[in-house]
Amino acid sequence: MNRSEFELLCDEQVRLAIEQRLGDDPVRIALDKRLPHAALIASQVKYLERARTKLPSYYAARCILPARAFEQSSSEACAAHKAFSGELCIDLTCGLGVDSLYLSRQFKRVVALERDPMLAAVTRENFRRLGAPNIEVVETSAEQFLSAWHDKVDLIYADPDRRSEENRKLVRLQDCSPDLIPLLPRIRELASRFVVKLSPLFDTDEALRIFGPDCLVEAVSLAGECKEMLVTQGDNESAPRLRATALGIGSLTFPAHAEEPVAEKFPSERYDWLLIPDVALRKIRCVRRHLADLGVCFTTENGYGFAAKPPKDFMGHMLAIERMEPYDPKRLRRALKAADIGRIDILHRDFPLSSAQLAAQLHVKEGGRRQIAFTVIDGESWQIVLKEPSAQETVKDAER
């Protein structure tokens, strides 16, 4: 976004044109030759519609949404999870400012750094529309600011830019901007607490190695998808910890270095419940620990859990089992044909075949209401036919 586009988006006539076209097809808007600034208006309509769920406060305030900044921003659900508080917070990487906005509701003052002058101007205007007067946007880099700042702060927060100049996704911390590794000593001098947001693909062990023995590494998921990794230092803990957080469900914390439970040989008795651990648990590699704590059967870190009855406080999704048997594609194919089932929702963990390969073997299409899970236990392949969706309502009751 350039200066002239920004000024147009602050113009009342352009704002009215955007408002009148919310809900319309952005492509049709962009092709409307009668509409001045059609492409710019179409872009804002597109991203405001997407903001309805990702950034509802930004949608309600009709904020200005540059494309790249929107794509890289935290969702408000994830930003609201960062429940830190104090007098002063420094956000080293403001961007669109979603995390700064939520931190400003818990801190007396937030100083948000944005080195791009144009994005800084956009963010200041958005904070005005959002009613966040206690956020000061400073046009500078993290390196320059930290070298000149000398006062103690309650929190320094960073979400490094994980896109290259060619718009390629970056995962390694030293490739991101700013490179936080050489800044860590200075950050620790200034801040009582430091929080950094990492890529959801970032390795847990690497985070523990970089940030040291007193950190908390947290995987945060929303609706079954890992959204971000957070590393926190400064909680006065002497041992590293791992945390899985499923937004809307809860959090579980584990010591980072503990003896891993060993799965016993899979019992032969029937199980009535298939347990699908939340992706946040898988990300921090604590699936077996969680299932062992619940006293239910587990296989591998990437596998399923099995229970005779719904366990209390399970972090994940539970599905009722109709029958569980060794994998026999011919027999299963005949059963599906006899029941006139041409589509199935294929679930698989630790299985040598992909969903597409399983669908081809079973002569079905992927999708549909009926679900079948496939896995390998103790070297044997299993097929787990799950109860029909209407029967799964009892699972929801159990989870509540």
pLDDT top residue among 368 and 186: 186
Residue 275 has pLDDT above 70, yes or no: yes
Which of 261, 270, 268, 267 is CA-nearest to residue 291? 261
Query: For residue 246, which phi and psi values (nearest 5 degrees)?
Result: -105, 110
Alpha carbons 315 and 252: distance in angstroms, whole number: 8
Mean pLDDT to the nearest integer, 334-347: 96
pLDDT tens-digit map of 112-146: 999 999 999 999 999 999 999 999 999 999 999 99
Nearest-angstrom CA–CA distance, 230 and 185: 19
- Secondary structure letter of residue 64 according to DSSP: -
Rounded to a whole number of angstroms, the distance between the first and last alpha carbons of the chain is 46
At 8, the pLDDT band (50, 70, 90 cuts) reads very high
What secondary structure letter does DSSP report for 286?
Answer: -
Residue type, 172: R
383 with 333: CB under 8 angstroms?
Answer: no
- What percent of the chain has pLDDT above 70? 97
The alpha-carbon radius of gyration of the chain (Å, integer) is 25
Instruction: Name the packing angle between helices 329-338 and 355-362 (round to 10°).
Output: 70
- Asked whether this chain's domains 71-255 and 273-399 adopt the same fold, the reply is no
pLDDT band at 393 (very low <50, low <70, confident <90, very high): low
CA distances from 172 to 103, 161, 168, 238, 322 (A): 26, 11, 12, 26, 44
Indicate the domain borders of the chain.
Answer: 3-54, 71-255, 273-399
Query: Which positions ≥6 away from 290 have C-beta within 8 Å?
Result: 244, 252, 277, 281, 314, 315
Q: Is domain 273-399 annotated with CATH 1.10.10?
A: no
| Residue 214 confidence (pLDDT) | 86
Sign of CA dihedral 225, 228, 229, 233: negative
In 3D space, the residue among 234, 242, 256, 243 whose CA is nearest the CA of residue 152 turns out to be: 234
Tokens of 27: 């492509």
**What is the phi/psi pair of residue 312, to 5°?**
-75, 140
- pLDDT digit string, tens, across residues 78-88: 999 999 999 99
Mean pLDDT in the chain? 93
Confidence band for 396, pLDDT divided at 50, 70 and 90: low
- pTM equals 0.91
pLDDT for 11:
97
Residue 165 banded pLDDT, cuts 50, 70, 90: confident
How far apart are alpha carbons 52 and 57 in whole angstroms? Answer: 8
Strand partners, 220: 228, 245
Q: What are phi and psi of 81, to 5 degrees?
A: -70, -20
Q: What is the pLDDT of residue 6?
A: 96
pLDDT of residue 346 exceeding 70: yes
CATH superfamily of the domain spanning 71-255: Vaccinia Virus protein VP39 (3.40.50.150)
Q: 271: part of which helix (H) or strand (E)?
A: none
